[in-house]
Structure 1
Amino acid sequence: MSKIKVLIIDDSALIRSVMKAIIDGQPDMEVVGMAPDPLVARDLIKQSNPDVLTLDVEMPRMNGLEFLEKLMRLRPTPVVMISTLTEHGSEVTLKALELGAVDFVAKPKLGVSEAMAELVQDITDKIRTAARAHVRRQTGATAAIGAPRPLAGHILSTTEKVVFIGSSTGGTEALKEVLSRMPAESPAIMMTQHMPESFTKSFAARLDGLSAMTVKEAEHNERVLPGYAYLAPGHSHLRVKKSGAYYYTELSQEAPVNRHRPSVDVLFESAARVVGQNAVAVMLTGMGKDGAAGMLAMRQAGAYTIAQDEASCVVYGMPKAAVEIGAVQEIAPLANIAGCILKRLT
């Protein structure tokens, strides 16, 4: 089997050498070139025809975003962004995902060599996932259209319903697509997206600006209200609990589940126990199988379950795992997911 060919683009010689050692240390991948900036990278891409690029967000001569936008328009290639764990870094990274990057690795600010070594599994897993990802050509027209409008004409029959969504790789854009189509008076939505804690607040704010619903990073023990969408913070599992007649959020820093905190399984399993047949579960694009067992528990508890189809997924991992164990009742393309949810609520 041929190795995954990786091109590293980073202005730090240290990061380039550490990344090269990590990648060349894997049996199924190899570094075919290294570039200190995107201008050098352009020639190397033509020469080496890489399967995956790792791209630093902030570089001299041409920044990573400018390069990424041109790359996705002219020669779509799977890209894993290397980003700093800062507020500015999170904003830039979210923009990169919007432009078509498959995923990102958050690099440390201090002790780079040691910390990067601890990220070996994260880096190599994301490169493997990127090599299999469905990367689509980005067009200027897409950006001009803007966010889809909320679907109209749905009269919601109950406010007792709660929608639960799980996502990972490719999920930032998938969540944007779903939430931008939900009307302001939608039942509450609770979401787990695999993402570091320094990114979830920025991401929730970004979604809030695109959705008729109010989108926020979930806090502990807040009442779950219609018209609100709650995103699990990157440092904690998110669960739903009930007190009297009302649902509330619950945050927990228990150990990771399926190597993730927040974990989709944790959210979905709480929904199965607490919300039962008043829940709708949605599994969006993502790597791995987190959430599949929880979705099955939700289906068995009477919830309605929906998964994104393979053709519209960036990575058909989590939805596939849920389908394979019989957890899914309906499979739909991303553009139809909001409509499928609303159909179950009217």
Structure 2
Amino acid sequence: MRCVLLFLCLFAFAQTADAQQLWTPAELAARPGEERAGRLGTPDPTGPARSEPRLALPPLPQNLRGSIRRVDTGGEKLVALTFDLCELSDQRAGYDGALVDVLRAHGAAATFFLSGRWMRSHPERTLQLMADPRFEIGSHAWTHGNFAVLSRERMREQLDWTQAQYEQARDELEALAAAKGMPEAAAAAPKSIRVFRFPYGRCRPEALEMLAGMGLAAVQWDVNTMDAGKRAPEAIARDVLRLARPGSIVLAHGNGNGHGTAKALESILPELKARGYRFVTVSDLLASGRAVTSHECFDSRSGDTALYDAIFGEGVTHPRRGRRE
């Protein structure tokens, strides 16, 4: 029995090591200034090379329909850390490599919700996240569209384009892994995205119904780091440690919109581990218990994200100067 366990441990280590051997430690590490975002002179409305995904997922089971707030794990101390990497059509968002470095240093699993356009503008970083077996990739729509405002056709476009871009990235990951003689390094990346996060935390019944039909679980959160508000790392860590409970889904940002997130993680990760928590991907969390769902999308109380409709409208571009951002 001891030999079998040793073999399984070595096999798991080899799988992780193979994935990371596609890049050197220096290539994986954070690069100074990479987290900074920039605005484009004019919005870019173009989509991916292929506008429709090849694969179609089966519709969601009834227990995963609706807006998923957290998971009832029966008391098992599991937490899903999630990071949004948003990119609107009038910007090139950043990549917060420092927080990814912290996650890897602690061996912590996490889910990254990527805008499809972010995948296109950050091709190598996308492949690195996909290849890491500790990480899961979710969809954050093509250009961060507001699903409470967009037409049905525009909602479907935001979803399909992101799925198609992911499939293209996965093809590129497979080709890279094969070229380096380690095809198993691409195995960590599923063939299709299965989880989704609504931009602005906004949705409507028609959007939830569309996602359920496409087999995409709509993942909200019950712990918001509020890291986009330029909060001190100590305040972020304090609130996460106070609010996290078994089955929590924690929201943060990895596209440079987060402030102090990496430093906060340096306190959050060891403290939650000391309390007996394990970090899992959203999909693993959903498989561990009963999803706690709502018929609407919100941050901490009903209707509290509705203000973004007036500020951002369809949400794919930033507000004009003089309007609140």
Q: TM-score range by the shorter chain?
A: under 0.3
Query: TM-score, normalising length from structure 2?
Result: 0.28
**How high is the TM-score relative to the length of structure 1?**
0.26
Return the structure number with greater relative CO, CA threshold 8 A, min gap 6. Answer: 2
Which structure has greater strand proportion? 1
